[in-house]
Amino acid sequence: MTDPRSDRFVRSHLKTRHLVLLVELGRHGSIMHAAEAANLTQPAASKLLGELEHALGVQLFERLPRGVTPTWFGQVMIRRAGAALAEMDAAHQEVMELLSGLRGRVDVGAVLTPAASLIPEAVNLLKARQPRVLVSISVDTSKLLVQRLRGGELDIVVGRVLDTGAAGELHFEPITDEPHSLIVRAGHPLLGHGGLRLPDLLRHGWILPPPGSILRDRLTAMFLSAGLEPPAETVETVALPVVANLLIGSDMLVALPRELVQPYLQSGLLAVLPFELGLRMDQYGIITRRGHQPSPGAAAMLATLREVCARRYPQAS
């Protein structure tokens, strides 16, 4: 049962300075440094933190000899405080844009494949209709992008929901999965090799994503399940220009969706090995915050993304 004392405090007495202090405590792990960042004295910061803990009836931070560390309750409050401050910043930005005659802003995050094809097409269409909408695009892993979405830093993410604990806060609209092919340079020795087998692929170096990524884990499992050690000669990167230049200048291999390197394939610089990896990734999709009202710019981008997805991936719609 909710403590009515806590409800009254949150609704009537929770101030912006409480939110700022929570965020800075999460960043610095020190009351002294958080107070400096929040333009407070250390006694004032300690008093504000004490007010919060008293009102909520829980300990938000453990006091340690060299600072503070958030409890689980503290982690929830830090994340929610960050989202609230981001909403306030977004409201101010939206008002300023309306006053200056602009049409809004949208912050989009995407994993690599949609960032190379789907997102540019959607942005071009949006800008053709609403040229004054400012679009900011971030490319990263699904985990980091969803964290930023939950924290209010992003309006829309095109990626995967990997944390089932966060699924209740998010709305997911599936688009498609990513069948992967083996990509090599034109003239690669393995292109003329008939009947390729998995051990043949270990004769050359591989370009791999960092450990912990879904693709890296599934490639490793593929080799191990066949009784083989994973590739030993590797380069780790997800930067597409780096990948393309490494491939063109060497005999390395990489597993990628063809969509990502289609211009290189069409120009004859790269080629697809005749080997069926059998790897398919979990579906990626459009992710937004459940129950959140998007700004006009974000709403326009969301509608445009859905329109482009329906055209590109009719099976999803």
Percent of the chain with pLDDT over 90: 50
Looking at the domain that runs over 4-80, which CATH code has it been given?
1.10.10.10
Quote the mean pLDDT of the chain. Answer: 87
CATH fold match for the domains 102-177+283-312 and 181-272: yes
185 or 292, which is more confident: 185
What integer pLDDT is reported at residue 97 of this predicted model? Answer: 63
Mean pLDDT for the stretch of residues 148-173: 90
Asked if CATH classification 3.40.190.10 holds for the domain at 181-272, the reply, yes or no, is yes
Asked if CATH classification 1.25.60.10 holds for the domain at 102-177+283-312, the reply, yes or no, is no
Does the pLDDT of residue 192 top 60, yes or no?
yes
Does the pLDDT of residue 7 top 60, yes or no?
no
pLDDT band (50, 70, 90) for residue 317: low
- Delimit the domains of the chain by residue range: 4-80, 102-177+283-312, 181-272
Percent of the chain with pLDDT over 70: 92
What integer pLDDT is reported at residue 4 of this predicted model? Answer: 52
What integer pLDDT is reported at residue 101 of this predicted model? Answer: 46
Does the pLDDT of residue 8 top 60, yes or no?
no
Of the ranges 24-33, 48-57, 196-205, 264-273, which one carries the lowest mean pLDDT score? 48-57
pLDDT band (50, 70, 90) for residue 12: low
Does the pLDDT of residue 290 top 80, yes or no?
yes
Does the pLDDT of residue 304 top 80, yes or no?
yes
Q: What is d(CA 66, CA 54) in angstroms, rounded to the nearest whole number?
A: 23
What is the reported pTM?
Answer: 0.62
- Token output for 126: 């949006």
Mean pLDDT for the stretch of residues 237-252: 93
What integer pLDDT is reported at residue 228 of this predicted model? Answer: 94
pLDDT band (50, 70, 90) for residue 191: very high
